Structure 1
Amino acid sequence: MITPVIRPRRLRSTPALRRLASEIRLHPSELVLPMFVREGNGDPLPIQSMPGVVQHTIDSARRAVTEAAEAGIGGVMLFGVPAVRDAVGSGATDPDGILNAATRALAAEVGDALVVQTDLCLDEFTDHGHCGLLAVDGSVDNDSTLERYCEMALVQAASGSQLLGLSGMMDGQVAAVRRALDLNGYVDTAVLAYSAKYASAFYGPFRDAVESTLEGDRRSYQLDPANRREGVREALLDIQEGADVVMVKPAGSYLDVLAEVAAVSAIPVWAYQVSGEYAMIEAAAAHGWIDRRRAVEESVLSIRRAGADAVLTYWAVELATWLNERQAR
């Protein structure tokens, strides 16, 4: 009989040993909850392609962020769903527009307990659904879009956003926004750069959530899914331009990019577990094909293991609740 001398299984033999030898542990403070807030009153509206996720009103969002704060998560990322859109995304810079109004309300509610963050992009506010202004030929005009981003940044900062999520993938957006913030006295408002944001098929349910009007695609500014080195390059550029945090999006299909960015970054690296990743697990679990809780935990753990310091996930509060219950035992 062969008797191995080296037995790695020793550290897997009991729950206590497995717990002691665990290399990565999840904590609620590493989780950020994306939230959709729509104009109007009434009840929250369920998003059919994202079971369990809703379009909030400001009132229901207040209740949701209070629950999130009690669960101990790190923050919430707000997306606005306006009633009216136009070519330049006017609602994005209206101080009383839905995103800015919601930011003020939620920052007042829980701003000391967690980080209230805002999506800084035009796609939710434009009638064409692109993340920037369109040129005469229909292409997205990078440099004129930067001017709108700077205007958005100032309104969002004035509304109480503690961290601005630059998700539009325009060249030079971090440097432009950082300069605008600093020149106007918002030196303490942090910038999260969606640095490696890929033109992914996994955003489909999100576009339902924000009622996107996009026709065509965003491949002229979001990254080609085939390109790993380009994602790392974008992150390094954003760090040079003054980003406080860089992010990889989506997470699950881009763990290699996430790991490489984490290996070279001197600042925090986050990842966004996007709507399609959420919807696939929910759908498979609803059919009884996978264990929902184990799949949720494993999916987020894998993102942390690849190098993310924090994870944006629609399961943030539910997962935090599980972690708190486990800790209490």
Structure 2
Amino acid sequence: MSFPHVRNRRLRSSQALRNLVRETSVSVNDLIYPIFVTHGTNIKEEIPSMPGVYHYSLDLLESELAEVAALGIQAILLFGVPETKDAKGSSAYDPNGIVQKASRKIKELQPNLLIVADTCLCQFTDHGHCGVVHYDEHKGCADVVNDASLELLVKTAVSQAEAGADIIAPSNMMDGFVYAIRQGLDEAGFENVPIMSYSVKFASSFYGPFRDAAHSTPQFGDRKTYQMDPANIREAIREAESDVVEGADMLMVKPALAYLDVIRAVKENFDLPLVAYNVSAEYSMVKAAAERGWIDEKTVVLETMIGFKRAGADLIITYFAKDIARWLKD
């Protein structure tokens, strides 16, 4: 049958009726909030390219964590900005590194708040790449060495778990990183610590503000030899499949907004919880447009979150998490 017997607008006539038949929803339980911690004292510095996002020293974390917990957000994604850097990113796996110190502090202040530790080397290396760099004299260029990088990533993951991280989130895109980290965690007695893998991480232009925040811009070249080509979706499925086989507990697609088709494809092929990372430029573009009065920030953000969920995401990492939590309460 068709019009006039079928009238689809009948189910849209009031807010209550629209709520009753709503197919997709966003909950505060879906949200993971990124936090940047740094050395020093009395530091709360706004990141210029990310309005409303700050670097925090450990002594000023308490009020921020209290606000996060009061809003009902149950997990944070922890990034550290180190005091020193070297070629092998040794402060990433230092027991007294910034992420390790912050994890212990967070567990003291908010023991029920889940810490998702970003496990990578780029913030901690002086060259800004996600692994060990080797200069090939024959080729006349530098390259990121895969297997040697895995050893350092395992040390980093174990160090983070020892400091109190509840979830390890490796973001480096080395081949075999999930297998290596899973084996390392198990051997260290952390077999119950899950891995949230950055399974499908594209070499994207949407990371610019984050690199400003994490001080992780590559000092030479780019990351296209290990992060994915934005044009490839079949490769994305292969990457996700590798992580499933190697023991990942959760999968991730990063970025999210320009890759909704990838989120849907991963969801249709695998039954693990799926995370969408609403990355820094996606955040900053909305903030910039809202500041100029071009868009309504609240409605645009909530519509975007619905889009992530509708595409298949179970969880969303977003710098808007606190705002969303407030709007959902209202």
TM-score range, shorter chain: over 0.9
Question: What's the TM-score, normalizing by structure 1?
Answer: 0.96
Q: Name 1:125's counterpart in structure 2.
A: 124
1:59 is displaced (CA, Å) by 2.3
Residue in 2 aligned with 1:286? 291
SS at match of 1:87: coil
Alignment partner, residue 85 of structure 1 = 85
Quote how far apart the aligned CAs of 1:136 are: 2.5
Partner of 1:95: 95
Aligned partner of 2:309 among 304, 308, 315: 304
How many Å apart are 1:304 and its aligned residue? Answer: 1.0
Paired AA for residue 227 in structure 2: Q
Separation in 2, partners of 1:211, 1:151: 22
Match of 1:24 in 2: 24
After superposition, the C-alpha distances for 1:38-73 in whole angstroms (9 at most, x for unaligned) are 111123111010000011111222321221111111
Range with greater deviation from structure 2 (60-69 or 145-154): 60-69
Equivalent residues in 2 for 1:22-171, closer than 5 Å? 22-112=22-112, 114-137=113-136, 138-171=142-175
Q: For residue 78 of structure 1, what is the amino acid of its counterpart?
A: L
Q: Give the Cα separation in 1 of the matches to 2:28 and 2:233.
A: 29
Deviation of 1:5 (Å) = 1.1
Q: Which amino acid aligns with 1:68?
A: V
TM-score in terms of structure 2 length: 0.96
1:186 and 2:190 correspond: yes
Distance in 2 separating the partners of 1:302 and 1:3:
29
Distance 1:255 1:64 in 2: 31
Q: Does the aligned pair in 2 maintain the 1:244–1:268 contact within 8 Å?
A: yes
1:82-114 deviation per Cα after TM superposition (whole angstroms, max 9, x unaligned):
1211100011111111111001111222232x3
Match of 1:260 among 265, 269, 292: 265
Deviation of 1:3 after TM superposition, in Å, equals 5.4
Identity within the alignment, %: 46
State whether residues 65 and 76 of structure 1, in contact with CA within 8 Å, keep that contact through their aligned partners in structure 2: no
Which stretches in structure 2 are left out of the alignment for 5+ residues? 137-141
Q: Which runs of 5+ in 1 are unaligned?
A: none
Deviation (angstroms), 1:233: 1.2
Deviation >4 Å, runs of 4+: none
Query: Quick check: 139-148 or 183-192, which moved more?
Result: 183-192
